[in-house]
Amino acid sequence: MNASELLPPSDTMYRALVNRDSSFEGIFFVGVRTTGIFCRPTCTAKKPARQNVDFFATPSEALHGGYRPCLRCNPMDPSERPPKLIERLRAEVERAPDGRLTDKELA
C-alpha cells in the first residue's frame, strides 16, 4: 500500500482546500495542473477549479509528478506541528503499556 492510497476522498480534500481547513495540514498536498505548482491545503493562493487539481500524500510525490513548490505556502518546509490525527496517535501509543495498539484500539 502506498501513501496515496491512504488519502481521504478527493471531494473531501477539495472541500478542505477551498475552506483552507487547517486540520488537513500535512495530510495531503494539492497540485494545480494549470500552473504546475503544488501547495498545502491551507495556502492563501486563489483556489483552482476542481478539474485542475491532483492530490498527493507527500511533497515528494508532487515533485515526482512534475509540480514545483508554491512560493507562497512553502510546502517543502515542515509544518510547525504534526496533523491532529498524528498527535492523537502519538498520545495513544505513549499511553499504551508496551507501545503497541490493536486495530480495535485504533478504531
**Which of 17, 43, 53, 62 is an active site residue?**
43
Q: Is residue 33 flagged as an active site residue?
A: no
Whether 43 is catalytic: yes
Domain boundaries, the chain: 3-76
Set 16, 27, 62, 70: catalytic member: 70
Sheet holding 53-56, edge to edge: 53-56, 29-32, 37-39, 68-69
Q: Any catalytic annotation for residue 55?
A: no
- C-alpha 10 chain-centroid distance: 11
More confident residue, 105 or 46: 46
The answer to whether the CB of 16 falls within 8 A of the CB of 46 is no
Query: In terms of CATH architecture, what is 3-76?
Result: 3-Layer(aba) Sandwich (3.40)
6-40 residue pLDDT tens: 899 999 999 999 999 998 988 999 999 999 999 99
What's this model's pTM, rounded to 2 decimal places? 0.71
106 is catalytic: no
Choosing from 37, 39, 53, 62, the catalytic residue is 39
For the cut 70, the answer to whether the pLDDT of residue 81 exceeds it is no
Count Cα neighbours of 87 within 13 Å in the Cβ-side half-sphere.
Answer: 10
**Which pLDDT does position 1 carry in this prediction?**
47
